[in-house]
Structure 1
Amino acid sequence: MRKMWRRACALAVAPLVMASAAACGGNDSEDAAGRTTLRVIVNITPNLTEKYWSGLFARYEKSHPDVKVKPELTGTISANAKLTQDLAAGDPPDIAQQITPTAENASLFADLSDQPWAKDTPLVDQYALDGKRYLVGVGEQIQSLVFYNKAAFTKAGVDATKIRTMDQFTTAMGKLKSAGYKPLQTAGQWVTGSQFSMMADAGVLTEDPKWTVKRNEGKVSFADSGYVPYLEHYKSWIDSGHLDKSALGLTYADGQTAFLNGKSAMYIMGSFFVPAADAAKKSDDIGVFTMPTDGAYPSGQFGNISNPYVVVDKSRHKAEAIEFVKWLVTDREAIRSQLAADGNLRSGFSYPMSSLGTEVQKVLDKAPSVIVKSGPGQPIAGFSDELNKQIQSLYTGASAKDAAGGLDKWWNSQS
């Protein structure tokens, strides 16, 4: 489940992913050449750089000379926070990437249900609200993946194909630590909580796909659920040194680099890690297996829509914005570019893949399902931040019981 935070004009809240530049909005709806300017809040990551977005948008501008597309980089705040800031200033952007509409904020976005092309986009109906399509995307990601250093596994005598349960996973960590490796790479920022979701959701939501729906209805709790054993496993890894407490001081990019440099043996991350391994020319040195669970194996893959877009309802150029989003999610070359840039997948579309990308595709092919938290199964807004907080509390002395209770207390306070 990858949610990326950006930076907006000297405002810094809820940091997640680094960005080196910031761009602020303005009322300039036309440039000096008289072209319509579309402002797009974009997701900046090690893969989806400012250079990447500018190049992608330039393709559209070439075939639409009357349109100028202006990417806006939000840096260390969420895309949603950037949108809220712009709307409050009376300066709405036209399009936002990486925002998931909820029942509470759906009115901010244009209803695309009457657009015939929207119905054929990936996972569109899973993300619909009351039958209305606000969000469209390019592909899908899977995220319950464990990437591993092949050389480390060989040195430690660990066979990745034999790791199916959480106990076997923990045993492998012990062998890897004895062989001189940090067993499992993590980081601070958003990574801690997201890795826990990638791990625990695969098991819990495969066993009960409606668990989050039941939590929304108050029928189940974290403290009395399958999440507790995963919290206990995670806490035991901290206590035994399998997870480095100092890793909380690392950024997402730092943690990724540490794994790519061979300093750690395993890395829980989504399919979007593959392009980073490819760029570092390390793909052949890295393997991947589906997340072990305390239940059925293989489990469903926790996943989500990739490269999602919404059109802002107050856009001054709504028709042009809708046309641009249509191009982003239906033009075959635009689709291939976005899939390849972030290691994502879409039925009917292929692109040259590395050995590691091919292995990820095999994991997806064997997965019994792709688990998506959306619609009625979408957690309360702010849950990912609270989960991150509670998982990080395990590093500073909290118990698994404390974390589960903290999640219940927070959830109950929001309803």
Structure 2
Amino acid sequence: MKRGPALMAAATGLVSALALTACSTSATSAGGGGGALTFMTFETPALTAKFWDTSIAEARKEVPDTDIKKIVSPDADRTAYAKQLQASGQFPDILSSVNPKDFTAAGLLKPFDQKWLDDNFTDPDGNAIDGKSYIPPTNSQIIPMVFYNKKIFAEHRLQVPKTWDEFVDVVTALKKAGVTPVEMAGGEPWSAAIPLSGIITADVLGADPQWIQKRYKGEVKFTDPGMTAAAGKYRQLIDAGAFDKGALSVSYADANKQFLDGESAMYPMGSWFIGQIPATAAKDFGTFLLPSGTGKTIVPFNTGGTTAVSAKSSDVAGATKFAQAWSLSKPNLKTLIETDGAFPMLKNVPFEEFGAKVTPVYTEGFRLVTEDNTKVSAFGQVNNDDALPPGVVEQFNSLAQKLFTSSDVKGQLASFDADWDKAAK
């Protein structure tokens, strides 16, 4: 099956300052000729500075004459930072995990060779936009999975919910017992949007996988009944006290810690969170998918990947070779499997060859990837034809934060419709 954030600096000086303070340089070789290629990365609790340095060194074994200078995005919004760098004439040669649609219209990204994609990946068109792929489909993610604390569920005699009503009943029971039902990293827009994204994917895209394409054609609206009902479910959880009242001020790192420390019972988050669960505690956690309105299992799927290549690079060929080497590196994928919960999608590498040590929670997630089920694009999380228009991901994230405090669901969705129409012109 083909499955198919924007901020501009106020002044060039500010952009240059950001770039300088965020830069660090990896080990380089004596070759390279035209100077080092810049590689914009980002850091998370799983993907640390050490990971990036090691992964760069690993990829350079395949392209020893290519020097790489690492640039680190100052926050989680890699797309916004790349736009800052582009506005100041410092667009990186290689970029990690950006939203391609924000750059393809300006011809800033170089698509990967289709034969290379076909030869190396199980879902070669998983990241295709208008038939071209700007990020290799190296791995996949489920966004979100609902992680839960088995001890808390057992203590309160709760079962994993199979329907939405059962999910709300679990929330209500936990709230009554004085337990925070659902963890939320609402202080960071991208993570604040995860629960809303999951509900929309389960109910709207689960019922009609072509919904986003129909929205591009103007055949549906966010104010239509189905989407309004989905956003209404998000408000239902808020009204039921599912989240802590201060959730909009909680960082991603703090939310992770609070959930792992047993301060909340459930946590809707991308499958990358698997890597944050210590192996020694893995038996205490499980996972399930947000129940859809129909009760059918809907997997909110994202074909992932990391490296995009600038079409404006002074050495497009060298940047492409490095990006390809990084994407096919088994040691890099092994680390992503173990620390970032990545589900590999390399065509010619059986899972056992990675030598990765995984937990039962990882196995549960990987089963959803490999088995025959209904997979649809995770709303607002993909880099293929179902990606949102340029800049709209940031507006969706903002919508989720606004809905946390506003009960005017239809009004907020009408405003988002206007944002979409403006961006999609």
Tell me which interval the TM-score lies in, with the shorter structure as reference length. Answer: 0.7 to 0.9
Paired position in structure 1 for 2:368 = 363
Report which structure shows greater RCO (CA 8 Å, sep ≥6). Answer: 2
Residue type matched to 1:333 in 2?
P
Once residues 327 and 27 of structure 2 are traced to their aligned partners in structure 1, the CA distance between those partners, rounded to angstroms, is 25
Q: Does 1:170 align with 2:186?
A: no
Corresponding residue pairs, total: 398
After superposition, the C-alpha distances for 1:332-386 in whole angstroms (9 at most, x for unaligned) are 3333233333111124334321121112223334561332345443222222222
The question of whether the paired residues in 2 share the 8 Å contact of 1:138 and 1:338 is answered with: no
Paired position in structure 1 for 2:293 = 294
SS for the counterpart of 1:140 is: strand
Distance 1:353 1:77, change over 3 A: closer
Moved more, 333-342 or 175-184: 333-342
- 377, 400, 412: which is aligned to 1:391? 400
SS for the counterpart of 2:396 is: helix
Paired position in structure 2 for 1:254 = 254
Paired position in structure 1 for 2:332 = 334
Moved more, 344-353 or 114-123: 114-123
TM alignment of 1:74-85, pairs within 5 A: 74-76=73-75, 78-85=77-84
SS for the counterpart of 1:377 is: coil
The question of whether the paired residues in 1 share the 8 Å contact of 2:222 and 2:417 is answered with: yes
Q: Cα offset for 1:29?
A: 13
Paired position in structure 2 for 1:409 = 418
Paired position in structure 2 for 1:380 = 389
TM alignment of 1:193-342, pairs within 5 A: 193-278=193-278, 281-299=280-298, 301-342=299-340
The question of whether the paired residues in 2 share the 8 Å contact of 1:221 and 1:408 is answered with: yes
The question of whether the paired residues in 1 share the 8 Å contact of 2:143 and 2:194 is answered with: no
After superposition, the C-alpha distances for 1:2-29 in whole angstroms (9 at most, x for unaligned) are x899x999669xxxxxxxx95249xx99
The question of whether the paired residues in 2 share the 8 Å contact of 1:111 and 1:134 is answered with: yes
The question of whether the paired residues in 2 share the 8 Å contact of 1:109 and 1:310 is answered with: yes
Residue type matched to 2:340 in 1?
D
The question of whether the paired residues in 2 share the 8 Å contact of 1:284 and 1:355 is answered with: yes
Moved more, 109-118 or 306-315: 109-118
Residue type matched to 1:330 in 2?
L
Once residues 333 and 147 of structure 1 are traced to their aligned partners in structure 2, the CA distance between those partners, rounded to angstroms, is 27
Paired position in structure 2 for 1:187 = 185
Q: Cα offset for 1:176?
A: 1.4
TM-score by length of 1: 0.86
The question of whether the paired residues in 2 share the 8 Å contact of 1:117 and 1:326 is answered with: no
Moved more, 243-252 or 381-390: 381-390
Moved more, 311-320 or 265-274: 311-320
Moved more, 121-130 or 322-331: 121-130
Paired position in structure 2 for 1:140 = 140
Distance 1:276 1:365, change over 3 A: same
Q: Does 1:92 align with 2:91?
A: yes
Q: Cα offset for 1:34?
A: 4.9
Paired position in structure 2 for 1:349 = 351
The question of whether the paired residues in 2 share the 8 Å contact of 1:298 and 1:368 is answered with: yes
Residue type matched to 2:96 in 1?
Q
SS for the counterpart of 2:286 is: strand
Q: Cα offset for 1:200?
A: 2.0
Distance 1:176 1:386, change over 3 A: same
The question of whether the paired residues in 2 share the 8 Å contact of 1:22 and 1:72 is answered with: no
TM-score by length of 2: 0.84
Residue type matched to 1:203 in 2?
D
Quick one: percent identity of the two aligned structures? 28
SS for the counterpart of 1:141 is: strand
Once residues 396 and 266 of structure 2 are traced to their aligned partners in structure 1, the CA distance between those partners, rounded to angstroms, is 22
Distance 1:405 1:286, change over 3 A: same
